[in-house]
Amino acid sequence: MIISTLWITRKGFETESPELITAWDEYSIDENYDGWQLATQLALKEIGDDVVDHRFIDIKVPDEKIFNLFDVATVATTEIVLGEDTAADG
């Protein structure tokens, strides 16, 4: 999966890490390229004169890395059965 990103540097912060403004995956861009273009243009316009420089950077991430984040974790448990008398104490 390719994640397309827009990064900027702001006035007064040129020596610090660039700031991630927006990110879309390749499938979203394929489905709505005009939306991606509009989103990046609006983001730059909203920040305005504070933008010193900007870069579009594509980041390739193996699909399984993303999909694995949504896997349900299996947690080992031990079943504890409480007797009736224990429940009555409570």
DSSP per residue over the chain, as a string? -EEEEEEEEETT-TTS--EEEEEEEHHHHHH-HHHHHHHHHHHHHHHGGGEEEEEEEEEE--HHHHHHTTSPPP---------HHHHHH-
Q: Which residue has tokens 């609006």?
A: 42
What is the average per-residue pLDDT within 53-65? 95
**Model pTM greater than 0.85?**
no
Domain extents in the chain: 2-68
In tens, the pLDDT along 5-42 reads 999 999 999 999 999 999 999 999 999 999 999 999 99
Instruction: Place 80 in a pLDDT band, splitting at 50, 70 and 90.
Output: confident
What is the average per-residue pLDDT within 65-88? 77
